[in-house]
Amino acid sequence: MPSDQSTWIISAPLNGDSEGIVQELTTKLVQQSKSISANSIAELGIPSFKTGTLDSLIALSEDLPKQDTFFTNTVAKVVDTLRNLLNNDPSKLSQHILVNESSIESYLLGQWRWNESRYGVQKGLRDMVDTLNKEMTSIDNAMRAKLTNYNLVKGSLVQMQRKKTGNLSVRSLADVVSKENFIQDSEYLETLLAAVPKNLVKDWHAKYERLANMVVPRSSNVVASDDEYTLFSVVIFRRVHDEFIQQCRENKFTIRDFIFSEEEIAKQRQELDTADVTERELWTELLHLSRTNFSESFQILVHLKVIRLFVESVLRYGLPANYIGIVIQTFSILQSHFSYLGSGSHSRGTKLKGGDTEEFVGEYQTLMEQEFYDFVLYEVPWVTQ
End-to-end CA distance of the chain: 19
Q: How far is CA 226 from CA 166, 168, 195, 252, in A?
A: 10, 7, 10, 17
Closest C-alpha to 379, from 300, 294, 301: 301
Note the pLDDT of residue 48: 87
Residues 244, 245, 249, 252, CA torsion sign: positive
> Phi first, then psi: what are they for 50, rounded to 5°?
-75, 125
CA distance 149 to 177: 34
d(CA 4, CA 184): 73
CA angle (146, 157, 88) in 5-degree steps:
65
- For residue 213, the SS3 value is coil
Nearest alpha-carbon partner for 132 in 296, 290, 295, 7: 296
User: What size, in residues, is the chain?
Assistant: 385
What is the SS3 assignment for 47-105?
CCCCCCCHHHHHHHHHHHHHHHHHHHHHHHHHHHHHHHHCCCCHHHHHCCCCECCECHH
Amino acid at 139: I
pTM flag (> 0.85): no
Q: Residue 132, class by beta-carbon neighbours within 10 Å (0-12 exposed, 13-18 middle, 19+ buried)?
A: buried
Give pLDDT, residue 355: 41
Q: What pLDDT, on a 0 to 100 scale, did the predictor assign at position 43?
A: 84
**Beta bridge pairs of residue 22:** none
For 379, the 3-state DSSP assignment is strand
Alpha helices by DSSP H, the chain = 18-32, 54-85, 90-94, 104-106, 125-162, 201-207, 241-250, 262-317, 334-337, 365-368
pLDDT at 157: 93
For each of the domains in the chain, give its residue range(s) and CATH number, in order of start: 6-156+278-381 (1.20.1460.10), 179-257 (3.30.70.100)
Query: Per-residue pLDDT for the chain (385 aa), expressed as one digit of tens each?
Result: 455 557 888 887 777 655 666 666 666 665 565 555 556 788 888 898 998 899 999 999 999 999 999 999 999 999 999 999 999 999 999 999 999 999 888 898 888 899 999 999 999 999 999 999 999 999 999 999 999 999 999 999 998 888 888 899 988 888 899 989 999 889 999 999 999 999 999 999 999 999 999 999 999 999 999 999 999 999 999 999 999 999 999 999 999 998 888 888 888 889 999 999 999 999 999 999 999 999 999 999 999 999 999 999 999 888 887 888 888 876 555 554 555 555 444 334 343 333 444 444 344 444 444 445 566 778 887 666 5
Q: What three-state secondary structure class fits 191?
A: strand
Q: What is the pLDDT of residue 348?
A: 42
Chain centroid, CA 260 distance in Å: 43
Sign, Cα dihedral of 118, 121, 127, 133 = positive
